[in-house]
Amino acid sequence: MDIDDNPRGSILTRREVVALLGAAGYAALSGYRLAPAARSTVRPPCVVRPEQTEGPYFVDERLHRSDLRTDPTDGSVKPGVPIGLTILVSRMDNARCQPVAGAQVDVWHCDHTGVYSDVQDPRFNTVGKKFLRGYQVTDEQGRAQFTTIYPGWYEGRTVHIHFKIRSPSTARRGFEFTSQLYFDDTLSDRIYAAAPYGGRGARTTRNEMDGIYRRGGSQLLLELVPQGAGYAGSFHVALQGV
Protein backbone atom coordinates (compact mmCIF):
# COMPACT_ATOMS: atom_id res chain seq x y z
CA MET A 1 0.00 0.00 0.00
CA ASP A 2 1.33 3.43 -0.97
CA ILE A 3 0.67 6.46 1.17
CA ASP A 4 2.14 9.94 1.17
CA ASP A 5 4.81 10.98 3.66
CA ASN A 6 3.94 12.47 7.02
CA PRO A 7 2.72 16.08 6.94
CA ARG A 8 5.16 18.85 7.66
CA GLY A 9 4.65 22.45 8.75
CA SER A 10 2.43 23.81 11.48
CA ILE A 11 -1.35 24.09 11.39
CA LEU A 12 -2.88 27.24 12.81
CA THR A 13 -5.79 26.81 15.19
CA ARG A 14 -9.14 28.39 14.33
CA ARG A 15 -8.58 30.97 17.08
CA GLU A 16 -5.17 31.92 15.65
CA VAL A 17 -6.53 32.31 12.13
CA VAL A 18 -9.49 34.37 13.31
CA ALA A 19 -7.11 36.60 15.26
CA LEU A 20 -5.10 37.16 12.10
CA LEU A 21 -8.03 37.80 9.78
CA GLY A 22 -10.72 39.31 11.99
CA ALA A 23 -14.36 39.10 10.88
CA ALA A 24 -13.47 38.25 7.29
CA GLY A 25 -11.37 35.34 8.51
CA TYR A 26 -14.17 34.02 10.68
CA ALA A 27 -16.59 34.17 7.77
CA ALA A 28 -14.07 32.38 5.60
CA LEU A 29 -13.55 29.54 8.05
CA SER A 30 -17.29 29.20 8.52
CA GLY A 31 -17.99 28.57 4.85
CA TYR A 32 -15.87 30.95 2.77
CA ARG A 33 -18.73 33.45 2.40
CA LEU A 34 -19.20 36.94 3.75
CA ALA A 35 -22.58 38.34 4.73
CA PRO A 36 -24.57 39.45 1.65
CA ALA A 37 -24.44 43.12 2.63
CA ALA A 38 -20.64 43.03 2.63
CA ARG A 39 -20.10 41.24 -0.66
CA SER A 40 -20.12 44.40 -2.76
CA THR A 41 -17.50 46.19 -0.62
CA VAL A 42 -15.24 43.47 0.81
CA ARG A 43 -12.79 41.52 -1.33
CA PRO A 44 -12.95 37.72 -1.21
CA PRO A 45 -11.22 36.58 1.99
CA CYS A 46 -7.82 34.98 1.96
CA VAL A 47 -7.18 32.34 4.61
CA VAL A 48 -3.97 31.11 6.19
CA ARG A 49 -3.88 27.44 5.22
CA PRO A 50 -2.04 24.48 6.75
CA GLU A 51 1.01 23.15 4.95
CA GLN A 52 0.93 19.43 4.15
CA THR A 53 3.33 16.86 2.74
CA GLU A 54 4.31 16.97 -0.92
CA GLY A 55 4.27 13.15 -0.91
CA PRO A 56 6.44 10.78 -2.92
CA TYR A 57 5.22 11.77 -6.39
CA PHE A 58 6.42 15.35 -6.85
CA VAL A 59 8.63 15.79 -9.92
CA ASP A 60 9.94 19.25 -10.79
CA GLU A 61 9.09 18.96 -14.49
CA ARG A 62 9.18 22.72 -15.21
CA LEU A 63 6.16 22.32 -17.50
CA HIS A 64 4.83 25.86 -17.92
CA ARG A 65 1.25 25.27 -19.05
CA SER A 66 -2.34 25.73 -17.90
CA ASP A 67 -3.96 22.63 -19.45
CA LEU A 68 -2.61 19.63 -17.56
CA ARG A 69 -4.66 16.95 -19.29
CA THR A 70 -2.32 16.26 -22.18
CA ASP A 71 0.92 14.29 -22.14
CA PRO A 72 3.45 16.30 -24.18
CA THR A 73 5.48 13.15 -24.83
CA ASP A 74 2.83 11.59 -27.07
CA GLY A 75 -0.08 14.04 -27.34
CA SER A 76 -2.53 11.79 -25.49
CA VAL A 77 -5.24 13.35 -23.34
CA LYS A 78 -6.27 11.95 -19.97
CA PRO A 79 -10.02 11.32 -19.72
CA GLY A 80 -12.07 12.52 -16.81
CA VAL A 81 -14.52 15.14 -15.60
CA PRO A 82 -13.00 18.57 -16.42
CA ILE A 83 -12.09 20.97 -13.63
CA GLY A 84 -11.25 24.63 -14.03
CA LEU A 85 -8.99 25.31 -11.04
CA THR A 86 -7.98 28.79 -9.89
CA ILE A 87 -5.49 29.26 -7.06
CA LEU A 88 -5.23 32.77 -5.63
CA VAL A 89 -2.08 33.54 -3.66
CA SER A 90 -1.89 36.39 -1.14
CA ARG A 91 0.40 37.47 1.67
CA MET A 92 -0.72 38.59 5.09
CA ASP A 93 0.38 42.19 5.59
CA ASN A 94 -0.87 43.75 8.83
CA ALA A 95 -3.93 41.46 8.72
CA ARG A 96 -4.66 42.54 5.14
CA CYS A 97 -4.58 40.35 2.04
CA GLN A 98 -2.06 41.49 -0.58
CA PRO A 99 -1.90 39.55 -3.90
CA VAL A 100 1.42 37.89 -4.67
CA ALA A 101 2.33 38.34 -8.34
CA GLY A 102 4.98 36.28 -10.10
CA ALA A 103 4.83 33.23 -7.81
CA GLN A 104 5.21 29.79 -9.40
CA VAL A 105 2.28 27.48 -8.62
CA ASP A 106 2.81 23.79 -9.42
CA VAL A 107 -0.11 21.35 -9.56
CA TRP A 108 0.10 17.56 -9.85
CA HIS A 109 -2.23 14.65 -9.18
CA CYS A 110 -3.16 11.14 -10.28
CA ASP A 111 -5.30 10.18 -13.26
CA HIS A 112 -8.75 8.54 -13.20
CA THR A 113 -7.17 5.18 -12.28
CA GLY A 114 -5.03 6.53 -9.41
CA VAL A 115 -1.76 6.62 -11.38
CA TYR A 116 0.80 9.46 -11.36
CA SER A 117 3.07 10.29 -14.28
CA ASP A 118 6.88 10.12 -14.41
CA VAL A 119 7.40 7.95 -11.32
CA GLN A 120 8.18 4.35 -10.52
CA ASP A 121 5.96 2.72 -7.95
CA PRO A 122 5.19 -0.88 -6.92
CA ARG A 123 1.83 -0.44 -8.67
CA PHE A 124 3.04 1.19 -11.90
CA ASN A 125 5.99 2.58 -13.85
CA THR A 126 5.25 5.77 -15.80
CA VAL A 127 8.77 7.20 -16.00
CA GLY A 128 8.96 9.54 -18.97
CA LYS A 129 5.25 10.38 -19.02
CA LYS A 130 4.19 13.90 -18.03
CA PHE A 131 0.40 13.97 -17.76
CA LEU A 132 -1.43 15.94 -15.07
CA ARG A 133 1.57 18.06 -14.11
CA GLY A 134 2.42 21.68 -14.74
CA TYR A 135 2.82 25.16 -13.33
CA GLN A 136 1.57 28.68 -13.85
CA VAL A 137 2.91 32.03 -12.67
CA THR A 138 0.49 34.21 -10.70
CA ASP A 139 -0.73 37.41 -12.35
CA GLU A 140 -1.09 40.82 -10.70
CA GLN A 141 -4.14 39.55 -8.82
CA GLY A 142 -2.17 36.60 -7.44
CA ARG A 143 -4.10 34.24 -9.70
CA ALA A 144 -2.94 31.01 -11.34
CA GLN A 145 -5.42 29.10 -13.52
CA PHE A 146 -5.43 25.47 -14.65
CA THR A 147 -7.58 23.07 -16.62
CA THR A 148 -7.38 19.51 -15.37
CA ILE A 149 -9.61 16.55 -14.48
CA TYR A 150 -11.22 15.30 -11.31
CA PRO A 151 -8.55 13.02 -9.84
CA GLY A 152 -9.11 9.33 -9.24
CA TRP A 153 -8.30 7.45 -6.05
CA TYR A 154 -5.75 4.94 -4.86
CA GLU A 155 -5.42 2.78 -1.79
CA GLY A 156 -4.52 4.53 1.44
CA ARG A 157 -5.44 8.09 0.44
CA THR A 158 -8.59 10.10 0.00
CA VAL A 159 -9.14 12.09 -3.21
CA HIS A 160 -6.68 15.00 -3.47
CA ILE A 161 -4.66 17.38 -5.65
CA HIS A 162 -1.16 18.50 -4.71
CA PHE A 163 0.05 22.08 -5.13
CA LYS A 164 3.27 23.94 -4.40
CA ILE A 165 3.82 27.71 -4.31
CA ARG A 166 7.32 29.10 -4.80
CA SER A 167 8.60 32.64 -4.51
CA PRO A 168 8.93 34.98 -7.50
CA SER A 169 12.43 35.26 -8.92
CA THR A 170 12.44 38.93 -7.82
CA ALA A 171 11.62 38.16 -4.18
CA ARG A 172 14.08 39.45 -1.61
CA ARG A 173 13.61 36.30 0.42
CA GLY A 174 12.74 32.93 -1.09
CA PHE A 175 9.82 30.85 0.15
CA GLU A 176 8.08 27.58 -0.63
CA PHE A 177 4.66 26.39 0.52
CA THR A 178 3.28 22.91 -0.23
CA SER A 179 -0.15 21.52 0.51
CA GLN A 180 -3.10 19.56 -0.89
CA LEU A 181 -6.67 20.20 -2.00
CA TYR A 182 -9.55 17.89 -1.07
CA PHE A 183 -13.06 17.20 -2.32
CA ASP A 184 -16.50 16.59 -0.89
CA ASP A 185 -16.99 12.83 -0.43
CA THR A 186 -20.55 12.92 -1.76
CA LEU A 187 -19.41 14.56 -4.99
CA SER A 188 -16.59 12.04 -5.36
CA ASP A 189 -19.06 9.17 -4.95
CA ARG A 190 -21.27 10.60 -7.68
CA ILE A 191 -18.41 11.16 -10.10
CA TYR A 192 -16.86 7.74 -9.50
CA ALA A 193 -20.12 5.99 -10.37
CA ALA A 194 -19.73 6.98 -14.04
CA ALA A 195 -17.15 6.51 -16.79
CA PRO A 196 -14.22 6.70 -16.93
CA TYR A 197 -13.97 6.25 -13.15
CA GLY A 198 -16.44 3.38 -12.71
CA GLY A 199 -15.64 -0.29 -12.54
CA ARG A 200 -12.91 -0.15 -9.90
CA GLY A 201 -15.12 -0.98 -6.95
CA ALA A 202 -15.63 1.15 -3.86
CA ARG A 203 -12.72 3.38 -2.90
CA THR A 204 -10.92 2.36 0.25
CA THR A 205 -10.36 5.71 1.99
CA ARG A 206 -12.72 8.64 2.55
CA ASN A 207 -11.77 12.04 3.92
CA GLU A 208 -12.10 11.37 7.64
CA MET A 209 -10.26 8.04 7.29
CA ASP A 210 -7.19 9.75 5.79
CA GLY A 211 -4.53 10.60 8.38
CA ILE A 212 -3.21 13.50 6.31
CA TYR A 213 -6.67 14.95 5.72
CA ARG A 214 -7.33 14.85 9.47
CA ARG A 215 -4.40 17.24 9.98
CA GLY A 216 -6.13 20.32 8.61
CA GLY A 217 -7.85 18.96 5.51
CA SER A 218 -11.16 20.61 6.39
CA GLN A 219 -9.41 23.96 5.68
CA LEU A 220 -8.27 22.65 2.30
CA LEU A 221 -11.58 21.58 0.78
CA LEU A 222 -12.07 22.85 -2.77
CA GLU A 223 -15.61 24.08 -3.37
CA LEU A 224 -16.72 23.23 -6.90
CA VAL A 225 -19.62 24.60 -8.93
CA PRO A 226 -20.95 23.10 -12.17
CA GLN A 227 -19.39 24.55 -15.31
CA GLY A 228 -20.19 23.11 -18.72
CA ALA A 229 -19.48 19.39 -18.73
CA GLY A 230 -17.48 19.65 -15.51
CA TYR A 231 -16.80 21.91 -12.56
CA ALA A 232 -14.87 25.02 -11.56
CA GLY A 233 -13.41 26.09 -8.25
CA SER A 234 -11.26 28.83 -6.74
CA PHE A 235 -9.00 28.41 -3.75
CA HIS A 236 -7.51 31.29 -1.73
CA VAL A 237 -4.19 30.84 0.07
CA ALA A 238 -2.65 33.44 2.39
CA LEU A 239 1.04 33.11 3.22
CA GLN A 240 2.78 34.58 6.24
CA GLY A 241 6.29 35.97 6.43
CA VAL A 242 6.80 36.35 2.65
Q: How far apart are CA 181 and CA 163, in angstroms?
A: 8
Q: Count, in order, helices (H) and strands (E) of the chain.
A: 2, 11
pLDDT at position 46 is: 75
Give one word for 235, left, alpha or beta, with left for phi > 0 and alpha for psi -120 to 50.
beta
Considering only CA atoms, give the Rg of the chain: 18
pLDDT at position 32 is: 30
Burial class (CB in 10 A: 0-12, 13-18, 19+), 32: middle
pLDDT at position 48 is: 84
pLDDT-flagged residues of the chain (< 50):
1-2, 5-44
SS3 103: coil
What are the structural domains, with CATH classification, of the chain? 14-239 (2.60.130.10)
| pTM (two decimals) | 0.81
Q: Does a cis peptide bond (omega within 30 degrees of 0) precede residue 7?
A: no
pLDDT at position 4 is: 55
pLDDT at position 155 is: 95
Q: Please write the tens of the pLDDT for every residue from 7-43.
A: 333 333 333 333 333 333 322 333 333 233 333 334 4
Q: How far apart are CA 184 and CA 218, in angstroms?
A: 10
Q: How far apart are CA 172 and CA 168, in angstroms?
A: 9
The count of C-alpha atoms lying within 13 angstroms of the C-alpha of 219, restricted to the half-sphere facing its C-beta, is 24
